[in-house]
């Protein structure tokens, strides 16, 4: 059990953005601000807009209208808004020459774009899109790695009222086609390819294959990123280059505002069954939510440098872009694998670019723990003021290694949890409060979050369903063109209350996410989160990472199976038996793994989140569902083959 707690200094508290917000309203503590923000959600969101000076072209008449029910709220009623104004234009008179985007590729090359240059490029691309016939309400897909063009394209499409459809840069043709068809995409902006782990990944080729099955696409814009040949000759689309869209002779677009709740983006989520869900986000709702996340949770100001190791196809990509720029910060994009050429790449990025907010995943940090501390100490990490984390639960050893050992207990870890449909976080600590190891702090401001038992009663000290009792601005407006699926997915468990599908626990005022409801195991009638087992497993010096899943058991209902990856050079002899004993001692004898398997890799997303449902499906020889978001789907097949061979031998 970790005893680590980050405690803010008086100076940290005094200078924090969230302190400024609280004191403007006579509030002296973060706990009081949390209470006030959910006692009157309209008050909070209006206060945040005012505090961050987020511009509306037409002021809203009221903050929230619930006449359509909690499932279908209207926010910032009567207001008009354009994300380009909120994130770019308003900074030009302040310091247009400040860096808006810094990009580093895996080969070490660097590009920098100022706010003034960003505004000009966005305007030119917007004009180019309109000349291709793209207009308000048309869907524009972005199939791009973490390059500046991805951010420019986001703002250009949003600025003309088109609907953004960001796609994961590792998708194959079938996954691309399913999303293009669901959104009825009219234009796609695609990179010819990207470099990851030194290998060329031909993205345009995957799109060309997908276009054979996507009749709605009329135009393709190609970003020449790695100099790969592209052939769309046999596809019935208009093909142009990115450079043509930003040609200096093109007249920049004159942006106009849109209704606050106009659709901005479709964020697609993957599931084990059914087609991916398109979560609908709005211009003002999404922008304001992510602006507050970055300002108050991560304490970002103009001039800071915000970097999150992610992909534009996951919600953290747009959140990083819109959130950083809404606060006048520099967005640092890294295109490539964060452990190439070695496990110090992440720390080198911090030193080279003066990163002030660094966002990582627990799995990434577990992979970097093999780095000698002397090598890390050679890098200057003093610029970092806040660490961010999301996507999966922490284990105490990895959390404490990052916070206490690498960063000498001087910066907070803002471990926050939400999702694509949330448009940000449900839970997050704030840098003005003590933060124990692995904690999510408490409800994010304006988020009326609770943990309920199966009967809908508030629950403390035990595992229950994470819910939100009131709507928030970035709450998805629905599943694209599927009202019934939206209502069934989020509103059918507890009538009138959003049920997110995560299991959580509140202990002594601290909140912990324990994994997806369908990941949590039920062993002899007792709920057990994978994180509780995995945090024990990763204490063993031979274990690099591990996944625990529940397997059907005729006696217990489910038994625990464990799959673990050895550290490089580790002696694996007898380790599986040691792990079984560790879990019995650390979690309880009833939860000791029935089987422990050594594997070369666990299936993960590009953002390094372990796909436990795919591991479980492989173990029981079932359909793993949608693996389009997996960076290494071959790991699923390897686990399936291992279990089959062992079972028949």
- pLDDT band for position 454 (50/70/90)? confident
Decide: helix, strand or coil at residue 57: coil
- pLDDT band for position 287 (50/70/90)? very high
pLDDT score of 165: 98
pLDDT score of 525: 59
The whole-number average pLDDT for the span 136-154 is: 98
Query: Which position has the higher pLDDT, 591 or 561?
Result: 561
The candidate with the shortest Cα–Cα distance to 588, out of 580, 596, 577, is 580
**Alpha-carbon distance 451 to 471, whole Å?**
16
pLDDT score of 36: 98
pLDDT score of 402: 98
pLDDT score of 367: 85
The whole-number average pLDDT for the span 626-631 is: 76
Query: Which position has the higher pLDDT, 382 or 394?
Result: 382
Ramachandran assignment for 161, one of left (phi > 0), alpha (psi -120 to 50 degrees), beta (any other)? left
Share of the chain above pLDDT 90, in %: 73
The candidate with the shortest Cα–Cα distance to 512, out of 436, 400, 618, 570, is 436
> CB of 192 within 8 A of CB of 230?
yes
For 30-55, how does the pLDDT look when each residue is reduced to its tens digit (9 = 90+)? 999 999 999 999 999 999 999 999 99
Output the average pLDDT for the chain.
92
pLDDT score of 147: 98
Query: Which position has the higher pLDDT, 542 or 363?
Result: 542
Hey, which of 162-166, 242-246, 456-460 has the most confident mean pLDDT? 162-166
CATH class of the domain defined by 518-648: alpha beta
pLDDT of 517 above 70: no
The residue assigned the tokens 């995409």 is 185
- pLDDT band for position 521 (50/70/90)? confident
For 348-393, how does the pLDDT look when each residue is reduced to its tens digit (9 = 90+)? 999 999 999 999 988 889 889 989 999 999 999 999 999 999 877 7
Cβ contacts of 35 within 8 Å, gap of 6 or more:
none
Beta bridge partners of 357: 306, 386
Lowest mean pLDDT among 176-180, 184-188, 333-337: 176-180
pLDDT score of 487: 96
Please provide the CATH number assigned to the domain covering 117-257: 3.40.50.980
* Reported pTM: 0.84
**Alpha-carbon distance 8 to 433, whole Å?**
6
What does the block give as tokens for 367? 């992979």
pLDDT score of 168: 85
What does the block give as tokens for 256? 């106009």
**Alpha-carbon distance 198 to 194, whole Å?**
10
- pLDDT band for position 273 (50/70/90)? very low
- pLDDT band for position 445 (50/70/90)? very high
pLDDT score of 523: 78
Tally Cβ neighbours within 10 Å of residue 138. Answer: 22
- Domain ranges for the chain, please list them: 117-257, 518-648
pLDDT score of 270: 63
Ramachandran assignment for 345, one of left (phi > 0), alpha (psi -120 to 50 degrees), beta (any other)? alpha
For 297-344, how does the pLDDT look when each residue is reduced to its tens digit (9 = 90+)? 999 999 999 999 999 988 999 999 999 999 999 999 999 999 999 999
> CB of 91 within 8 A of CB of 119?
no
């Amino acid at each position: 059990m970790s005893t680590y707690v980050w405690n803010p200094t008086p100076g940290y508290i005094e200078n924090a953005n969230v302190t400024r917000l609280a004191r403007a309203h006579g509030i002296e503590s973060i706990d009081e601000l949390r209470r006030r923000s959910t006692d009157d959600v309209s008050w909070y969101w209006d206060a945040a807009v005012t505090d961050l000076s987020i511009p509306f072209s037409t002021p809203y008449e009221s903050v929230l209208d619930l006449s359509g029910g909690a499932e279908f709220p209207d926010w910032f009623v009567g207001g008009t808004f354009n994300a380009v104004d909120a994130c770019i234009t308003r900074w030009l008179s302040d310091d247009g020459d400040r860096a808006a985007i810094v990009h580093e590729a895996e080969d070490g090359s660097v590009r920098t774009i100022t706010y003034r240059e960003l505004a000009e490029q966005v305007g030119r691309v917007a004009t180019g899109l309109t000349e291709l016939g793209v207009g308000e309400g048309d869907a524009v897909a972005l199939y791009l790695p973490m390059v500046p063009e991805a951010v420019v394209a986001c703002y250009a499409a949003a600025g003309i009222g088109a609907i953004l459809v960001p796609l994961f840069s590792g998708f194959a043709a079938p996954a691309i086609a399913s999303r293009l068809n669901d959104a009825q995409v009219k234009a796609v902006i695609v990179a010819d390819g990207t470099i990851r782990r030194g290998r060329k990944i031909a993205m345009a080729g995957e799109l060309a294959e997908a276009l054979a099955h996507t009749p709605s696409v009329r135009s393709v814009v190609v970003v020449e990123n790695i100099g790969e040949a592209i052939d769309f000759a046999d596809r019935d689309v208009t093909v142009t280059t990115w450079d043509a869209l930003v040609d200096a002779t093109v007249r920049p677009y004159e942006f106009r505002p849109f209704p606050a709740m106009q659709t901005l983006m479709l964020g697609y989520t993957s599931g084990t069954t059914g087609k991916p869900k398109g979560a609908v986000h709005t211009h003002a709702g999404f922008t304001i939510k992510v602006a507050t996340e970055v300002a108050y949770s991560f304490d970002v100001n103009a001039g800071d440098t915000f970097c999150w190791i992610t992909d534009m196809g996951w919600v953290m990509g747009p959140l990083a872009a819109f959130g950083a720029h809404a606060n006048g910060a520099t967005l640092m994009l890294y295109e490539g694998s964060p452990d190439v050429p070695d496990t110090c790449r992440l720390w080198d990025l911090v030193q080279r670019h003066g990163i002030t907010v660094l966002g990582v995943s627990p799995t990434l940090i577990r992979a970097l723990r093999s780095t000698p501390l002397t090598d890390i100490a050679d890098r200057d990490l003093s610029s970092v003021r806040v660490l961010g984390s999301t996507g999966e639960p922490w284990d105490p050893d990895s959390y404490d290694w990052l916070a206490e050992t690498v960063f000498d207990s001087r910066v907070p870890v803002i471990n926050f949890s939400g999702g694509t449909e949330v448009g940000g976080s449900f839970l997050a600590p704030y840098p003005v409060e003590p933060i124990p190891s692995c904690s999510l702090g408490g409800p994010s401001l304006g988020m009326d979050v609770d943990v309920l038992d199966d009967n809908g009663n508030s629950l403390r000290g035990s595992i229950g369903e994470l819910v939100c009792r009131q709507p928030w601005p970035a709450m998805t407006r629905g599943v694209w063109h599927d009202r019934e699926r939206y209502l069934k997915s989020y509103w059918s468990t507890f009538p009138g209350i959003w049920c997110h599908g995560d299991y959580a626990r509140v202990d002594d005022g601290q909140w912990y996410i324990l994994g997806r409801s369908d990941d949590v195991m039920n062993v002899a009638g007792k709920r057990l989160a994978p994180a509780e087992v995995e945090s024990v497993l990763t204490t063993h010096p031979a274990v690099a990472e591990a996944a625990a899943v529940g397997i059907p058991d005729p006696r217990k209902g489910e038994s625990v199976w464990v799959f673990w990856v050895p550290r490089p050079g580790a002696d694996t002899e007898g380790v599986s038996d040691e792990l079984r004993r560790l879990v019995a001692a650390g979690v309880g004898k009833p939860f000791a793994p029935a089987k422990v398997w050594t594997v070369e890799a666990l299936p993960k997303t590009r953002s390094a989140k372990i796909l436990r449902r795919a591991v479980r499906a492989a173990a029981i020889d079932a359909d793993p569902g949608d693996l389009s978001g997996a960076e290494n789907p071959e790991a699923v097949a390897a686990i399936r083959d291992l279990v089959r061979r062992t079972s028949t031998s």
